[in-house]
Chains A and B, each alone.
Chain A
Amino acid sequence: MITQLPPRQDVLARRDAIVAGLRRLLPPDGVIAEKLLLKPYETDGLTAYRQVPLAVVLPETTAQVAAIMAFLHREGVRVVPRGAGTSLSGGALPMQDAVVLGLMRMNRILEIDTADRLAVVQAGVTNIGITQAVQAEGFFYAPDPSSQLACMIGGNVNMNAGGAHCLRYGVTANNLLGLKIVTVDGQVIELGGAHLDAAGYDWLGLLTGSEGQLAIVTEVTVRILRSPEGARAMLAAFRANEVAGACVASIIASGIIPVALEFMDRPAIHACEAFAHAGYPLDAEAMLIIEVEGSPAEQDELLGRLRDICARHDPISVKVSSSVAESAAIWKGRKGAFGAVGRISPDYLCMDGVIPTSRLAEVLRRIGEMSAERGLQVANIFHAGDGNLHPLIMFDANDPDSFARAERFGADVLTLCVEVGGCLTGEHGVGVEKRDLMGVQFTATELDQQRRIKSAFDPGWLLNPSKVFPLQPAPA
């Protein structure tokens, strides 16, 4: 189980006064302090951890956020920013003495400019909401985390969210132009804007992925892209993980960068097929979903080249979609993967390590051995082009021993990812989940360097505490 910093007793003792102060800053329904109504905010996408917060505030404007932050800073109260609460790393886990600052009412789209290819939105606009706002003009917002129907752009910025198409389009950080932020003491700062590459330090890059620990993001300027003429997928099934991994290497070496290149191992194939009936090959040890974009003729040419490459790796089967509907069928199982695993196991942990793609087969073999040793099933889903591995470790939350074993299993998998040259997290963030593993990836000197930067923004460590950094005191 995760530990949190001890709550500040003086803050708990002043709870009523703090809530009253917040109520003076916001409309009546903008402050939640009733125990029953706080319950929905006790957890996020990492539901194994729960903590009811001191209170929840739901501002609608940057000015309100600034007023809230100035007040809470004066009062010495911790703040946990929260978008849609879809974090899989516990990034929005509350603390007993912290106010949750929810962004969901900051849901207005402020500007769309297709000539300059940008959109300015409040932080509580959903990821898909940006694409929906610009798709009539033929544009889209590229990063597509699998929670994109619910997750909010402010949360995407804080966690530097990725998705299935980052091999071609990059992650959130690569698709931002500007931010409006509120500092811990309530000052409003604009970073970047409608232009590329502000001179001076890359604050935009530093803030992105900072997990709500440097400032509150209230507005975001994103780059929007013209949608491709079309996209189509193919599916290739292989006799061994090694073979599928070699095929991925051949594809990249050929000069083709597919927009998506997804890998599923045997347990993942079986779970998804049982759930979605997508026609996946149950005799395969590994399967690739490959998607390309372009005109119909361009798709044909790329898929033809890819089919030839797959054919050199002794595939069990190769299925090239010939229509939008067939592509959707190929994706159906993969997109339902989390639900599919949820059907065969009451609970699972979704890990998020990254490995050099050349080490894939070895890493999957080691994960298989750990699975057998610990008596916990695991299914592996992998963004194969960029090395982002998502082992889904199944356990039973009603059995504390099962959960504890799953946590240790997950930690061992992430340690392995670092050992082979990768990292702890590719797109979910450190949150509370991987906080205590940071020492596996970073030296004490490196962690102290990062802590000093955190302190430069937030000297009192009020912003999203108990996350990212192991719970040692900050350096002076």
Chain B
Amino acid sequence: MSARLLADALAPADEAGVAASVRAAFEAGEPLLVQGNGSKRAMLRPVQAARALSAGALSGITLYSPQELVLSARAGTMVADLNAAVAAQGQQITAEIPDFSALLGSTAAPTLGGAVAANLSGPRRVAWGAMRDHVLGVRAVNGTGDIIRSGGRVLKNVTGLDLCKLLTGSHGTLAVLTEVTLKVLPVPERRATLVLRGLDPVQGVAALAAALGSPYGVSAAAYLPASVSHRVPGLNGAAALVRLEDFASFVAYRSERLRADLSAFGQVEVLDDAATLAAWAAVRDAAPLVDEPGAIWRVSVRPSAGPRIAAVLERMFDARWFLDWGGGLVWIAGPATAAAHDAVCAAAREAGGTWTLLRAPEALRAAVAVIPPEPAPLAAIARRVKAAFDPKGILNPGRLRAGE
């Protein structure tokens, strides 16, 4: 399928070209596989489409005003290029965009449009918000070929419906993103990570909760069980990790205060700036599970429920797992079977949470609900909203749910 799609791929050079391509597909009633460079094509459900439409050729930063904390770039701009551009000005993309290339077996360069379409957020999400919280403006082409804008290039904006949030995380099923404006923030002067070793998952998450509930501005909190922790640089054996990022003197002071506050949970070691960068890059990109065979799920629940889900799934199918977002993001690896998938869904549902089947062989992704079904009244609204953007259902049909 991939080879044929690439041969037929449309890669317009600009937004007008995207609009023309979508308009032609709309008139022909021809479904499109909407993508950037396709680095996340192995996520979610496979799309049955006659052609691929790539925004990958729409590249380049169109506005960067560091003193206003605002960055705009075309959707096909590579995430790596954006990270470099803001780093050169002492700033960073707040969402700490993960790179799932290794996890998904992709060699394609992830794009800004893809990261936004998938609402990808790294460890900082727990303190500073998701990708969707930092999208200030979008330009996009809807399913009839109309160019639409929402938001803008200012930090506060409640004018009209917030389509920035609706399109972020919609995986190209409502519109094709052509340009995105993000709020960016200064790079912290210093980073440090507090490590508590040897805690069981329940104690570990309690320690993370204590840290996140402290006044010290913890910017990330993860728990790695012994089974996978060796894949995080600097770790060997179960560990709870708490990150601080701020001015150097603040980090020194806060490390000491947190060390004292967490002493009831055990001895605290502190990783320095370089070790912190390496450890959290591994957590961000799900490195602890990259070498696991089979399927990968992400489950989001209230943080205190994370350990219970991990325990249940360990019993059911010897899951490999770790926890980010203070315990609320459960990363799970297990057999790529419908039975394992059902167990993950049931555990997430029972805890009142949500799941995503992030990686699996195509047959499984096509056969199961890769994200939770919506209750009937919401599903009816969702169908009408989809039709409001894409009346012929030509944009990434079936990407999120079968028949949608």
Report A's interface with B, CB cutoff 8 A. Answer: 113-118, 138-139, 159-160, 162, 166-167, 170-171, 173-174, 183, 187, 189-191, 193-206, 208-210, 226-229, 249-250, 252-253, 255-257, 294-295, 297-298, 301-302, 354-358, 383, 385-388, 421-430, 434, 438, 441-443, 445-447, 449-450, 452-457, 468
Which residue in B67, B162, B372 is a CB contact (below 8 Å) of A252? B67
Whole-angstrom distance between the Cβ of B347 and the nearest chain A Cβ: 13
Instruction: Given contacts A118-B302, A298-B247, A446-B160, list 6 more A-B pairs with CB under 8 A.
Output: A113-B304, A115-B213, A200-B169, A205-B164, A297-B249, A456-B381
**9 closest Cβ contacts across the A-B interface?**
A205-B165, A456-B384, A452-B388, A194-B302, A199-B371, A255-B186, A426-B156, A386-B155, A187-B377
Q: Which of B354-404 contact A (CB under 8 A)?
A: 354-356, 371-372, 374-375, 377-378, 381-382, 384-385, 387-389, 400
List chain B residues, Cβ under 8 A from A297: 249, 253
**Complex-state Cα separation, A298 to B257, whole angstroms:** 13
Does B158 touch A at the CB level, under 8 Å? yes
Q: Assess the B148–A449 pair: CB atoms within 8 A.
A: yes
The stretch of B102-110, B121-129, B277-285 that contacts the partner chain: B121-129
**Complex-state Cα separation, A118 to B70, whole angstroms:** 30
Which residue in A166, A199, A253 is a CB contact (below 8 Å) of B67? A253
**Complex-state Cα separation, A430 to B157, whole angstroms:** 10
> What residue in chain B is nearest A305 (Cβ atoms)?
B247
List chain A residues, Cβ under 8 A from B304: 113, 115-116
Which residue in A195, A257, A386 is a CB contact (below 8 Å) of B328? A195
**Complex-state Cα separation, A226 to B302, whole angstroms:** 17
Whole-angstrom distance between the Cβ of B199 and the nearest chain A Cβ: 16
Which residue in B156, B174, B253 is a CB contact (below 8 Å) of A387? B156
Which residue in A114, A302, A450 is a CB contact (below 8 Å) of B213? A114
Q: Assess the A210–B157 pair: CB atoms within 8 A.
A: no
**Complex-state Cα separation, A198 to B372, whole angstroms:** 9
List chain B residues, Cβ under 8 A from A187: 377
Whole-angstrom distance between the Cβ of A120 and the nearest chain B Cβ: 11
Q: Assess the B388–A456 pair: CB atoms within 8 A.
A: yes
List chain B residues, Cβ under 8 A from A227: 215
**Complex-state Cα separation, A450 to B400, whole angstroms:** 22
Instruction: Name which of A203, A210, A434 has the most chain B CB atoms within 10 A of its CB.
Output: A203
Q: Assess the B385–A117 pair: CB atoms within 8 A.
A: no
Sample 30 A-B pairs with CB under 8 A, ordered by A number: A114-B213, A115-B209, A115-B213, A115-B303, A116-B302, A116-B303, A117-B303, A199-B300, A200-B372, A202-B165, A205-B165, A226-B215, A250-B67, A255-B186, A301-B247, A301-B250, A358-B68, A421-B152, A423-B159, A425-B159, A429-B158, A438-B159, A441-B160, A442-B159, A443-B149, A449-B146, A452-B388, A453-B166, A456-B381, A456-B387
Q: Which of B140-178 contact A (CB under 8 A)?
A: 142, 146-150, 152-166, 168-170, 174
Instruction: Write the B48-74 contact mask toward A (1 if CB under 8 angstroms, else 0).
Output: 000000000000000001111110000
Which residue in B133, B212, B215, B378 is a CB contact (below 8 Å) of A138? B215
Q: Assess the B387–A206 pair: CB atoms within 8 A.
A: no
List chain A residues, Cβ under 8 A from B267: none
Q: Assess the B384–A162 pair: CB atoms within 8 A.
A: no
List chain B residues, Cβ under 8 A from A203: 378
**Complex-state Cα separation, A159 to B161, whole angstroms:** 10
**Complex-state Cα separation, A226 to B254, whole angstroms:** 14
> What residue in chain B is nearest A214 (Cβ atoms)?
B161
Given contacts A423-B152, A430-B159, A449-B389, contact A196 B119 (CB under 8 A): no
List chain A residues, Cβ under 8 A from B170: 201-202
Given contacts A195-B353, A426-B156, A456-B384, contact A257 B185 (CB under 8 A): yes
Q: Assess the B165–A354 pair: CB atoms within 8 A.
A: no
Instruction: Name which of B125, B142, B161, B206 has the most chain A CB atoms within 10 A of its CB.
Output: B161
Which residue in A387, A421, A449, A456 is a CB contact (below 8 Å) of B142? A449
**Complex-state Cα separation, A200 to B356, whole angstroms:** 9
Q: Assess the A357–B372 pair: CB atoms within 8 A.
A: no
Does B294 touch A at the CB level, under 8 Å? no
List chain B residues, Cβ under 8 A from A202: 119, 132, 165-166, 168-170
**Complex-state Cα separation, A190 to B378, whole angstroms:** 9
Which residue in A195, A208, A438 is a CB contact (below 8 Å) of B352? A195
List chain B residues, Cβ under 8 A from A383: 156
List chain B residues, Cβ under 8 A from A198: 300, 354, 372
Task: Please tell me the size bucket of the interface on B.
Answer: 35 or more
Q: Assess the B68–A117 pair: CB atoms within 8 A.
A: no
Given contacts A193-B352, A195-B328, A429-B158, contact A173 B146 (CB under 8 A): no
> What residue in chain B is nearest A358 (Cβ atoms)?
B68
Whole-angstrom distance between the Cβ of B128 and the nearest chain A Cβ: 9
Q: Assess the B189–A205 pair: CB atoms within 8 A.
A: no
Does B287 touch A at the CB level, under 8 Å? no
Does B214 touch A at the CB level, under 8 Å? yes
List chain A residues, Cβ under 8 A from B322: none
Q: Assess the B385–A453 pair: CB atoms within 8 A.
A: yes
> What residue in chain B is nearest A205 (Cβ atoms)?
B165
Q: Which of B6-60 contact A (CB under 8 A)?
A: none
Which residue in B68, B189, B300, B389 is a CB contact (below 8 Å) of A195? B300
Whole-angstrom distance between the Cβ of B227 and the nearest chain A Cβ: 24
Whole-angstrom distance between the Cβ of B377 and the nearest chain A Cβ: 4
Instruction: Name which of B215, B304, B353, B389 has the most chain A CB atoms within 10 A of its CB.
Output: B215
List chain B residues, Cβ under 8 A from A252: 66-69
List chain A residues, Cβ under 8 A from B149: 442-443, 446
> What residue in chain B is nearest A189 (Cβ atoms)?
B378
**Complex-state Cα separation, A139 to B215, whole angstroms:** 9
Whole-angstrom distance between the Cβ of A313 and the nearest chain B Cβ: 14
Q: Assess the A354–B157 pair: CB atoms within 8 A.
A: yes
Q: Assess the A194–B377 pair: CB atoms within 8 A.
A: no
Q: Assess the A197–B160 pair: CB atoms within 8 A.
A: no
Whole-angstrom distance between the Cβ of B47 and the nearest chain A Cβ: 16
Whole-angstrom distance between the Cβ of A462 and the nearest chain B Cβ: 15
Whole-angstrom distance between the Cβ of A160 and the nearest chain B Cβ: 5
Does B97 touch A at the CB level, under 8 Å? no
Whole-angstrom distance between the Cβ of A222 and the nearest chain B Cβ: 13
